Amino acid sequence: MKKILFSSLLFLLAEFSFAEELTNYTITSDSQINTLEGDLEATGNVVIKSNSGNFEAYSDKLSFDKDYKSLKLIGNVHVKNLESEGIAIEETSGDELTIFTDKGLFEFKSQNKNRVTTKIKF
């Protein structure tokens, strides 16, 4: 009986610790649509900011896919203070940014012979 109670307590502590690590974001845009599946799409003058840090991103369109755990910013993307896997990006810009939220990885693309520009700290 003591083992079951102890195991339950450890599980609750783990859940509480994980919940504290979640980062909340505020998304502002001209329009937003969310689905019953938990996906989100924001269009027009999109601004996303973290509530607990100084991360900021701007784009024409944002889409979040819950199943693939990806956040995609499309069109005139500009990002400040993105941290991932020990790398701190002060500022970056390009045409399309995908952030894989479960892994903390990202992929930045540019189109029409434009180039991705990044200021980075190691």
Give yes or no for residue 61 having a pLDDT over 60.
yes
Q: What is the CA radius of gyration of the chain?
A: 18
Q: What is the CATH number of the domain that holds 61?
A: 2.60.450
Q: Is residue 15 part of a domain?
A: no
Q: Is residue 116 part of a domain?
A: yes
Containing domain of residue 67, as a range? 24-121
Confidence at residue 23, expressed as pLDDT on a 0 to 100 scale: 65
3-class SS of residue 76: strand
pLDDT class for 81, splitting at 50, 70, 90? Answer: confident
Confidence at residue 100, expressed as pLDDT on a 0 to 100 scale: 84
Phi, then psi, of 13 in degrees rounded to 5: -65, -40
- Total number of domains constituting the chain: 1
Q: Is the pTM of this model over 0.85?
A: no
DSSP 8-state symbol, 2: H
